[in-house]
Structure 1
Amino acid sequence: MWNPPPEALKALPLDRDWSKPDDKYGDPKTLYDMVRKSVDLWGADTVQCTYVPSEGMERVPITRGQFHDNVQALAAGMRAAGVKEDDRVLQIVDTSPQFAMIFYAANMIGAAASAVYTNMKMKESVYCYDLATPSILFVANPSLLTSFAENKGDSEWPIGGVVILDNEMPETMPEGVNVSTWMDFINAGRAAEPVNDPCMDHTKLASLIFTSGTSGVPKAVMLSNWNVLHNILAIQGRAPLWPGRRTACFLPFAHSLAQAGDMSAMIYFGCEVHFVSDLLNLVNEVQVIKPHIMLCVPRVLNRFHSRIMAGIEEGSGLKKKLAKSALATAKKRTLAAPTEMIAVPPKGMKDKILTKLAITKIRERLGGELDLMISGGAPLDPEIALFVNCLGITVLEGYGLSETAPLVTLNGWEEDYASMSGTVGRAIPGVEVIIDQDAW
């Protein structure tokens, strides 16, 4: 079980008014305000995130102060480029520190941020672009801009131009639009008039989340600052998220779970966000990051289970016997625990020896310090959750929608991290779930 340090943010009263920010509790008023407060809370010199700029390079840290400075420069650059309050900002950018900086810069000036996946079919990206009507467009690389220009048809270029993140221009420049590199835009923002009047309206539209389009073409879910902030404040002090805790971030920021979790809550609670640069190299990267927390989807846990079991089967006779005996002992111990889905430490000499000889080695493949995985996006097989518990890792499953920013329910937020396997937990504070019987 976790023991929060004295500086960890405390849980807010369950009976408070959850419909708006309250100065009595020091609530952030906007998502940008949340970033600003995190600098004051945890210090400008503390590490907020790390990332690998390009393949083969060393992991680079970004402090909270550096992150905030870049957000301010981007906000000033956007305003100088003609982006105004209530405008839209669109990015075709992968999960990265830059994605988050763009998002919070837009929020700072009262513009709504939206994003599409870099691997989305370009015709669908253009459709989302037309739906968002952005005043400025950020793209990951020159090839994406070239593809966008070839597919945009009669769509107008944004008045604020296009910014390319990797600091290289395309061989053939598109006509009729100003194109800047990331560094040029940042530097222009630093030279521009600073934004001394950040938007502080909790009702302001903050994010447009494009759905997967499983029911047709993609649709944009409209989320206000408070929609997202409520999610964050509802779990404040009710989950083991505090300074010094590391998360390995790989879910797409274009999705509401990662946007509210890794991109927002982790920052506000003082955690370190370590970006995974290559999903195909996830196992190797987490061995470097040594995360305590991972937000994931069931598919990741399923693959994790399959790879571990395959490795056990391929081992020598003794190693296979030790691993299976260790897992069987851990399963018996976990099933006997009073709270489901919460990892239980080994008990007794045999259990401790088997854990050290077998399970500890499996955990080392995930960095050795992982103790919490939060699963969402689809139902999680209870047997997979139990398997992960046996490795000493708590798995908390929740339920949500893009429209709810995204949390509706979550296991483990109540006293003693109460949870139940095979369920998605109880409604988080400030949320009421009603079954619409008229729809049956």
Structure 2
Amino acid sequence: MKTEPLNLPFPSVPAMLRDCGERFCDRDALSYKKDGQWKSLSYGQFYQRVLMAARGLGKLGVEPGEKVAILSENRAGWVIADLGILCARAVTVPIYATNTAAQVSYVLQHSGARIVFVSNRLQYEKLLAVRDQLPELETVIAFERFIGDKSLPVFHLYQLSEISHPISAAEQQQIETQMAEIGPDDLLTLIYTSGTTGVPKGVMLTHANFLIDARIGLDRLGGRNSRETFLSFLPLSHVLERTAGYYAALMSGSRIAFAESVDKVVENIVEVQPTAMVSVPRLFEKIYSRIYENVHLMSPPKRKLFHRAVEVGRQYVYRRYIEGKPTGLLGAKYRFYDRLIFAKIRQKFGGRLKFFISGGAPLDKTINEFLWIIGIPAFEGYGLTETSPAITLSSREQNRFGSVGRPLEHTEVKLAEDGELLVRGPQVMRGYYRNEKATSEAMENGWFKTGDIARIDEDGYVYIVDRKKEIIVTAGGKNIAPQPLENELKLDKYISQAYVYGDRKPYLVALITPNLERLIELGHEKNLDYFDIEELVANEKVRAVFAERIEQLNEKLPSYETIKKFVLLPRDFSVEGGELTPTLKLKRKVIYEKYRERIESLYDQNGTTANQNHQGETA
């Protein structure tokens, strides 16, 4: 580990914003779509809007260290509110827009926030639904105009900011004076964990936590002078987007364009023509699946040409980026196929996209290789909310497929006796808010316990095996990581999501959700009569196809890792359905409880299978 000083670029995030407002005054900072048109705020305008929000919060009596919440989807108002809170020397408490009213109530009660920013009436109504549980809630500030209830008055952000009254020189000096009092070790935010492992905990992160993680990450990916256009669609409430797609973007003077919604991401990519994006693997899985579905529809000669191009691309990527050797004739072949095929694929993503940053869950090795082959590499990182988030990160110069990269500078990692990854570094949280017991359990002699099982190779590359608490231990004593199996299943064109189960059982089973587009095509191909999707997934011919696809995967696995039986569900896992976190990770406990009867029905009373053939069921 390097021992040089941390060399923070700024003492605080507000100091960084002030610098941006001066240095990049006329450069676009934020872009958003309104009334069908893309609009932008320059860094100078953005800074003034933040100062106005800070002025308004000051008039509401916000004190240094006070907690102020944001309950909103990604939009310009989110970051104006966040930075306004920070410039008022307060602490931002983000809440996922997908949270239920009960979850919102818990965060507000635990954090003690009396002021909440909301995006629209839908989010406001969550507050109304739990109004009697929130006696300390005083003020709601909305990004959209609507009439609130008398029991909970609502004001518009423009009213708070007094938008028609520009910041005077005296007001600006007063706010900037209080901004200068913010230090690197001051608390910046409380981010409540998604609760996949129990009751949500408020992670305390400082200005230094974010600033050092953003700076080192930028340096690894090309430096702070790299001016990019980020398309933002992951929740800003999540630490990955907060650091990599927001604070790091501001640090480099880049432009942040907010996608209209997750469903509009593909459309917005073409419109915005981003150069960089932060995402979780689910987006890449869909991209990979869609491209190969189109390849399947090609004529045999074109299909053969595509596969030849991919094979040449794979050889080129390994030769250049993994082995670091001259490419020679192979490079010429790759450039030929790049002009002929890969450049056309990149045009589907706006034509300017240079790289993805992937985090939140393991990215399948095959998909990552493919992204590098087509010329849009995914730099995979690893971390947690508690580590701001990045602990490791790959780059063009440091990459091994299947790995999450090497540790960031100033960061130490090691393995505990049971293989759990431990980390020590400047990005590690201060602790859990009002929860000393959980804080002490998470730390061991200055090392943070990640809860993930990992291995570290001789070159320092880290490979995540699985969550420590999610490792399946079969009745036969075999330890099996479910995520690699689930990722393999999701590569199949007919499968959208997969959940593998088998803890203390004699064999593994799976819940499978179908790719609905491919499922309907399958129904047409086989001339099946059906009333709805539930009837279609119950059809014996459909189940036989899925059984065959799973058997093809089983042929590559040791017997104890094979999927013996499965349930085919009529709908996908979703955030709204409760099976996924806001960053699209499986809520394993929730899924098991929700489908307990169907899962347990795949085992007989003695926990053994009547035969070793696939026995598909439908939900």
SS of residue in 1 equivalent to 2:231: strand
Quote how far apart the aligned CAs of 1:309 are. 0.6
User: Residues 359, 430 of structure 1: CA spacing in aligned structure 2 closer, same or farther, 3 A cutoff?
Assistant: same
Give the one of 233, 237, 242 matched to 1:250: 233
Give the one of 116, 140, 147 matched to 1:169: 147
Question: Given that residues 399 and 409 in structure 1 are in contact (C-alpha distance below 8 angstroms), is that contact kept between their aligned partners in structure 2?
Answer: yes
Alpha-carbon distance in structure 1 between the residues aligned to 2:118 and 2:17 = 23
Give the one of 26, 33, 38 matched to 2:20: 38
Alpha-carbon distance in structure 2 between the residues aligned to 1:356 and 1:417 = 24
State the partner residue of 1:156. Answer: 135
State the partner residue of 1:77. Answer: 56
State the partner residue of 1:49. Answer: 30
Alpha-carbon distance in structure 1 between the residues aligned to 2:343 and 2:166 = 52
State the partner residue of 2:113. Answer: 134
State the partner residue of 2:201. Answer: 219
Letter matched to residue 183 of structure 1: Y
User: Residues 68, 417 of structure 1: CA spacing in aligned structure 2 closer, same or farther, 3 A cutoff?
Assistant: same
The TM-score normalised by the length of structure 2 is 0.63
Question: Given that residues 291 and 370 in structure 1 are in contact (C-alpha distance below 8 angstroms), is that contact kept between their aligned partners in structure 2?
Answer: yes
Alpha-carbon distance in structure 2 between the residues aligned to 1:120 and 1:404 = 23
Quote how far apart the aligned CAs of 1:350 are. 4.6
SS of residue in 2 equivalent to 1:144: helix
State the partner residue of 1:384. Answer: 367
Alpha-carbon distance in structure 1 between the residues aligned to 2:28 and 2:62 = 30
Question: Given that residues 140 and 154 in structure 2 are in contact (C-alpha distance below 8 angstroms), is that contact kept between their aligned partners in structure 1?
Answer: yes
Quote how far apart the aligned CAs of 1:153 are. 2.5
Give the one of 226, 229, 238 matched to 2:220: 238
Alpha-carbon distance in structure 1 between the residues aligned to 2:164 and 2:205 = 27
State the partner residue of 2:401. Answer: 421
Alpha-carbon distance in structure 1 between the residues aligned to 2:417 and 2:312 = 45
State the partner residue of 1:112. Answer: 91
User: Residues 131, 439 of structure 1: CA spacing in aligned structure 2 closer, same or farther, 3 A cutoff?
Assistant: farther
The TM-score normalised by the length of structure 1 is 0.87
User: Residues 63, 227 of structure 1: CA spacing in aligned structure 2 closer, same or farther, 3 A cutoff?
Assistant: same
Letter matched to residue 400 of structure 2: M
Alpha-carbon distance in structure 2 between the residues aligned to 1:348 and 1:337 = 9
Question: Given that residues 250 and 279 in structure 1 are in contact (C-alpha distance below 8 angstroms), is that contact kept between their aligned partners in structure 2?
Answer: yes
Give the one of 392, 396, 404 matched to 2:379: 396
User: Residues 341, 271 of structure 1: CA spacing in aligned structure 2 closer, same or farther, 3 A cutoff?
Assistant: farther
> Which digits, 9 at most, give the CA deviation of each residue in 1:366-387, with x for residues without a partner?
1112121111111111111101
Question: Given that residues 149 and 174 in structure 1 are in contact (C-alpha distance below 8 angstroms), is that contact kept between their aligned partners in structure 2?
Answer: no
SS of residue in 2 equivalent to 1:299: helix
Quote how far apart the aligned CAs of 1:189 are. 9.3
State the partner residue of 1:123. Answer: 102
Give the one of 19, 26, 44 matched to 1:65: 44
State the partner residue of 1:272. Answer: 255
Letter matched to residue 325 of structure 1: R
State the partner residue of 1:187. Answer: 162
Give the one of 395, 409, 412 matched to 1:432: 412
State the partner residue of 2:599. Answer: none
Letter matched to residue 322 of structure 1: L
Tell which structure's C-alpha radius of gyration is larger.
2
State the partner residue of 1:8. Answer: none
Quote how far apart the aligned CAs of 1:96 are. 1.6
Quote how far apart the aligned CAs of 1:341 are. 11
Quote how far apart the aligned CAs of 1:340 are. 6.9
SS of residue in 1 equivalent to 2:277: strand
Aligned-residue CA RMSD (Å): 2.5
Alpha-carbon distance in structure 2 between the residues aligned to 1:275 and 1:44 = 20
Quote how far apart the aligned CAs of 1:417 are. 2.0
SS of residue in 1 equivalent to 2:96: coil
SS of residue in 2 equivalent to 1:52: strand
State the partner residue of 2:79. Answer: 100
Letter matched to residue 388 of structure 1: L
Letter matched to residue 147 of structure 2: M
> Which digits, 9 at most, give the CA deviation of each residue in 1:167-218, with x for residues without a partner?
2224xx141x442112212216957855242242211110111111011122
Alpha-carbon distance in structure 2 between the residues aligned to 1:307 and 1:372 = 19
Alpha-carbon distance in structure 2 between the residues aligned to 1:346 and 1:73 = 59
Higher RCO structure, 1 or 2 (CA under 8 Å, sep 6+):
1
Alpha-carbon distance in structure 2 between the residues aligned to 1:332 and 1:287 = 30
User: Residues 341, 378 of structure 1: CA spacing in aligned structure 2 closer, same or farther, 3 A cutoff?
Assistant: farther
Q: Which moved more, 1:318-327 or 1:403-412?
A: 318-327
Question: Given that residues 247 and 292 in structure 1 are in contact (C-alpha distance below 8 angstroms), is that contact kept between their aligned partners in structure 2?
Answer: yes
Question: Given that residues 146 and 174 in structure 1 are in contact (C-alpha distance below 8 angstroms), is that contact kept between their aligned partners in structure 2?
Answer: no
User: Residues 435, 325 of structure 1: CA spacing in aligned structure 2 closer, same or farther, 3 A cutoff?
Assistant: closer
Letter matched to residue 165 of structure 1: F
Alpha-carbon distance in structure 2 between the residues aligned to 1:257 and 1:152 = 31
Q: Which moved more, 1:350-359 or 1:44-53?
A: 350-359
Alpha-carbon distance in structure 1 between the residues aligned to 2:323 and 2:105 = 46
Q: Percent sequence identity over matched residues?
A: 25
Q: Which moved more, 1:314-323 or 1:254-263?
A: 314-323
State the partner residue of 1:5. Answer: none
Quote how far apart the aligned CAs of 1:345 are. 11
> Which digits, 9 at most, give the CA deviation of each residue in 1:124-161, with x for residues without a partner?
111111111113111111232123112233311434x1
Letter matched to residue 347 of structure 2: E
User: Residues 436, 174 of structure 1: CA spacing in aligned structure 2 closer, same or farther, 3 A cutoff?
Assistant: farther
User: Residues 90, 135 of structure 1: CA spacing in aligned structure 2 closer, same or farther, 3 A cutoff?
Assistant: same
**Bigger strand share:** 2
Alpha-carbon distance in structure 2 between the residues aligned to 1:252 and 1:83 = 26
Quote how far apart the aligned CAs of 1:14 are. 5.0
User: Residues 135, 83 of structure 1: CA spacing in aligned structure 2 closer, same or farther, 3 A cutoff?
Assistant: farther
User: Residues 116, 101 of structure 1: CA spacing in aligned structure 2 closer, same or farther, 3 A cutoff?
Assistant: same
Quote how far apart the aligned CAs of 1:334 are. 1.7
- Does 1:210 find its partner at 2:192? yes
Letter matched to residue 166 of structure 1: E
User: Residues 200, 105 of structure 1: CA spacing in aligned structure 2 closer, same or farther, 3 A cutoff?
Assistant: same
